[in-house]
A and B are shown apart, each in its own frame.
Chain A
Amino acid sequence: MLPVVIAGVALRSRLFIGTGKFSSPAVMAQAVEASGSDLITVAIRRVDIDAPSDSTLSALDLSRLHLLPNTSGARDADEAIRLAKLARAACGTTWIKLEVTPDPNYLLPDPIETLRAAEQLVKLGFTVLPYMNADPVLAKHLTEAGCATVMPLAAPIGSNLGLRTRDQIGIIIEQASVPVVVDAGLGMPSHAAEAIELGADAVLVNTAIAIAHDPVTMARAFRFAVEAACLARDAGPGDRAVRARASSPLTGFLRDEGSA
């Protein structure tokens, strides 16, 4: 299984994990471990000065994980750029998952503000991984702006609805010159496998794992699904046919050769 390479960095696992909504930092860390992932996303928020608890990340082994901070909460390009700068100051990474979601009901990404932010962040030296709707034309614009990946949504964030944008993502993959990471809405391991089999370079999963009854086992399940789909792709699937093609010999006992 080949690693996925983003901005020159090789990642062994094609499963990226979001760290939100877990019942505790300890469960989150165990789920990340079980997933086999080497890239996790995190958000930026104010410290509660009166009750500065331990960071969510304290339970993680950050020496073997790539951190991908996001700009969640940003409603326009300026807010996203502000969050990106804070993330860079906090951990030194120039990688940023660009999210601009002005609509609180569906959290759909704003294509115009996302593109505007991407152009500026690339100029500021960031490695930009933009969350976007599954729009092949927008994917081209973001790639031309210098983004390191495109990250089309499968379905609204946290919805667990699966690969609702399958055909559009297929076009994005066909035309892509940067890695395609399917992000948001993947609710079951089979959804992740479907995205990888379709040709996606990686998937990003958070809610499906975090809110499962047993997040650690669900993380393992996603790991196996993504690995299985990668292996299947490497193996070279056979072609499809509308009519049946017998798997057992049709002759040799009940029918004579030539009379079948």
Chain B
Amino acid sequence: MQINLNGKRREIQEGLSIGELLRQLCLRSGLVAVEHNGEVLAPEAVDARVLREDDQLEVVRFVGGG
């Protein structure tokens, strides 16, 4: 199935949790945050949240800024 990840279509396995997807992308550790269908998730909520077809997922992190 496909989801929209950071503005791009991406093929992922059925039944994947957001936490597992982050692990696959090597983004599980560190200062990242996730917005799932417009809802900002607490870090402890990502493992329980299962992705569905056409979900909107944004993964952000800190960059240099003033």
Contacts and interface: CB of A to CB of B under 8 A. Distances in A.
Interface of A: 18-22, 25, 28, 41-49, 52, 55-57, 67, 69-70, 72, 82, 85-91, 157-158, 184, 204, 206-207
Interface of B: 5-8, 10, 25-27, 30-35, 40-43, 58-66
A19 B64 contact: yes
A184 B66 CA distance: 8
Given A85-B40, A89-B42, A69 B62 contact: yes
28 contacts: A18-B66, A19-B64, A20-B63, A20-B66, A41-B65, A42-B62, A44-B60, A45-B61, A46-B6, A46-B58, A46-B59, A46-B60, A47-B61, A48-B6, A49-B5, A49-B6, A49-B25, A55-B31, A70-B66, A82-B40, A86-B58, A87-B62, A88-B33, A88-B40, A89-B43, A90-B33, A157-B66, A207-B66
Nearest to A17: B66
Nearest to A91: B31
A217 B1 CA distance: 53
Chain B contact residues: helix, strand, loop or mixed: strand
A56 B30 CA distance: 11
Given A18-B66, A91-B62, A157-B66, 5 more contacts: A42-B64, A43-B63, A47-B32, A86-B60, A158-B66
Nearest to B5: A49
Contacts of A45: 60-61, 63
A25 B5 CA distance: 26
B64 A47 contact: no
B66 A89 contact: no
B8 A44 contact: no
Contacts of A19: 64-66
